Amino acid sequence: MRRADSVCCPPCGGKGISRMNERREEEQKRQAMEKFSELYDVVKALRAEDGCPWDRAQTHSTLKPFLIEEAYETVDAVSTLEKGEGTAALVEELGDLLFQVMLHSEIGRQEETFTLADVEEGISRKMIHRHPHVFPDAEGRRQKKDWDALKKEEKAPETPQEEMEHIPHCFPALLRTQKIQKKIQKYDGTGADFRKSVRRAMELLEHARGSMTAEVGGELLYEVCNLLRLSGVNSEQSLKDTLEIKLAQRAREKS
């Protein structure tokens, strides 16, 4: 007997697999919505009159350090994943980060300033607007548009100075520096010359022979950030990765 007779033709098999994937995705969505509703009730209970005193005492302001901490721990969990150490840490930290979003949203609901629905609607609307190549317009057209131009459509016009000042001050210094340098180059071309930035860095190193002041050190860091930016390197991540390598090397040498 020919074994091929018992095998579906490619088109039928493909459609069958597609339907199976659709059913699986629908079930995953159902489970996600069910657990999301459960988490909503948990957060609401924590903030209720007979809930947890600590959670009830929190405000948007008091939660700021915890939000930053959870974001960093999530990034660290991604590094754990990259090392091949599994997804357990990332699942946990994403949950902690989501809890922060839920807690802020519940505070907003209780203060009658905004709700979780507002947060969800806002991010959905933003992503749809910024991806016109994925989500068609009212006439069914898909278009490719500049990301920065789309972002500008969502906000009132800003001067170059206002745009730079609105880059969050709570960003790590190296990250914020590169973002501002990118804006400065965009508006007046400053910082675009790689060799000029190298020369400036070398001058600062020459000036710092024997010792270095905070001012000179800051200027040098600024130039190094710019050189890395022009090379397509994230200065914050570069320094973090180098530090981890140094620590690992030290651990091996001491063992």
Residues 45-96 have pLDDT tens digits of 999 999 999 999 999 999 999 999 999 999 999 999 999 999 999 999 999 9
- Give per-residue pLDDT as tens, 165-187: 999 998 899 999 999 999 999 99
- Give per-residue pLDDT as tens, 17-44: 888 899 999 999 999 999 999 999 999 9
Residue extents of the structural domains in the chain: 11-114, 172-247
Count Cβ atoms below 10 Å from residue 249 Cβ, excluding itself. Answer: 10
Whether 95 and 32 have beta carbons less than 8 Å apart is answered as: no
Ramachandran category for residue 3: left, alpha or beta (phi over 0 → left; psi -120 to 50 → alpha): alpha
**Size of the chain in residues:** 255
- Give per-residue pLDDT as tens, 111-123: 999 999 999 999 9
- Give per-residue pLDDT as tens, 95-149: 999 999 999 999 999 999 999 999 999 999 999 988 988 988 877 778 877 777 7
pLDDT for 6: 44
Q: Hey, what CATH topology would domain 11-114 get? A: Helix Hairpins (1.10.287)
Overall pTM > 0.75: no
Measure the CA–CA gap between 223 and 194, rounded to whole angstroms. Answer: 10
Measure the CA–CA gap between 97 and 91, rounded to whole angstroms. Answer: 10
DSSP 158-212: --HHHHHHTS-TTS-HHHHHHHHHHHHHHHH-TT--HHHHHHHHHHHHHHTTT--
Quote the tokens at residue 102.
Answer: 């839920």
